[in-house]
């Protein structure tokens, strides 16, 4: 079904947020708990959360509310959010999207793909997420947000840097993204981009250059070497056998 998309590809880049069912919810819940700790309960975090951007961006937007008057540095609020988040995933784990393990096994062990992880979080947060999800040894390359003087540096043109640092051929690389900004950047680099869709962001908001929308990884499994017509034929054959 997806032969044309994966043919002649040998590298896959995954945005970290794209892998999980409940990542955004956990971040929103962590921010809410920090707000509650300073007696701010009226903010609807889900309306301020910015997918694909560092947590600091969401805090900066929240703090624009004229009713919020606290003398706590933004970086402190961000670090408190990180602590809450890490506690949550250490205690409860974090849920991968359906089909992930089978898909990764097929890419890595059957087709020999190089797997690159792109994370908008710093190395500490990224490591904790990977550990909570048992993903420490899955990716060949892990690209995280850089930190200078204790503060995360917002990285622009992340995909450009990943391409240069790993000497990637764009034509041989496929990207799995979730956010609008991430998709815009990866398609700008002329890389085939698949959106792991959250079912909330309107599809028309994504760049028209996105090649595929999937809610999870299940449909991809076992269909990387088949055209759409071949997949239909297989379904018809299996239906005949069942009948």
| DSSP codes, 128-156 | HHHHHTT-TTT-SEEE---EETTEEPPPS
Query: What H or E segment, with its residue span, contains residue 212?
Result: strand 212-214
Q: What's the pLDDT score for residue 53?
A: 85
How many Å apart are CA 86 and CA 92, to the nearest integer?
10
Give yes or no for a contact between 179 and 51, defined as CB atoms under 8 angstroms apart. Answer: yes
| DSSP codes, 47-112 | HH--TTS-HHHHHHHHTT-TT------HHHHHHHHHHHHHHHHHHH--PBPTTHHHHHHIIIIIS-
Q: pLDDT tens string for the chain (243 positions)? A: 899 999 999 999 999 999 999 899 999 999 999 999 988 888 889 888 988 888 999 999 999 888 888 889 999 999 999 999 999 999 999 999 999 999 999 999 999 999 999 999 999 999 999 999 999 999 999 999 876 555 555 556 789 999 999 999 999 999 999 999 999 999 999 999 999 998 889 999 999 999 999 999 999 999 999 776 766 665 555 555 455
| Domain residue limits, the chain | 3-21+95-242, 24-92
Give yes or no for a contact between 226 and 234, defined as CB atoms under 8 angstroms apart. Answer: yes
Q: What's the pLDDT score for residue 175?
A: 98
Q: What's the pLDDT score for residue 155?
A: 57
Domain 3-21+95-242 falls under CATH 3.30.70.3270: no
Q: What's the pLDDT score for residue 235?
A: 52
Q: What's the pLDDT score for residue 67?
A: 84
Q: What's the pLDDT score for residue 159?
A: 93
Query: What H or E segment, with its residue span, contains residue 230?
Result: helix 228-242
Q: What's the pLDDT score for residue 13?
A: 98
């Amino acid at each position: 079904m997806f032969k044309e998309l994966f043919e002649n590809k040998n590298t896959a880049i995954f945005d970290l947020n794209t892998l999980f069912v409940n990542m955004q919810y956990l971040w929103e819940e962590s921010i809410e708990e920090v707000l509650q700790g300073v007696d701010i309960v009226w903010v609807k975090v889900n309306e301020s959360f910015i997918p694909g951007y560092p947590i600091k961006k969401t805090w900066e937007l929240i703090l624009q509310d004229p009713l919020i008057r606290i003398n706590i540095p933004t970086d402190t609020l961000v670090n408190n959010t990180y602590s809450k988040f890490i506690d949550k995933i250490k205690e409860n784990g974090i849920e991968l999207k359906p089909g992930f393990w089978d898909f990764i096994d097929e890419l890595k062990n059957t087709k020999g793909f190089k797997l690159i992880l792109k994370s908008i979080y710093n190395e500490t947060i990224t490591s904790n997420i990977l550990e909570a999800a048992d993903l420490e040894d899955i990716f060949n390359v892990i690209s995280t947000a850089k930190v200078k003087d204790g503060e995360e540096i917002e990285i622009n043109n992340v995909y450009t840097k990943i391409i240069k640092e790993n000497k990637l051929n764009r034509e041989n690389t496929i990207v799995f993204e979730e956010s609008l900004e991430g998709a815009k950047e990866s398609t700008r680099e002329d890389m085939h981009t698949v959106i792991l869709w959250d079912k909330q962001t309107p599809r028309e908001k994504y760049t028209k250059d996105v090649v595929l929308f999937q809610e999870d990884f299940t449909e991809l499994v076992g269909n990387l070497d088949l055209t759409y017509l071949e997949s239909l034929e297989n379904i018809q054959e299996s239906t005949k056998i069942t009948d």
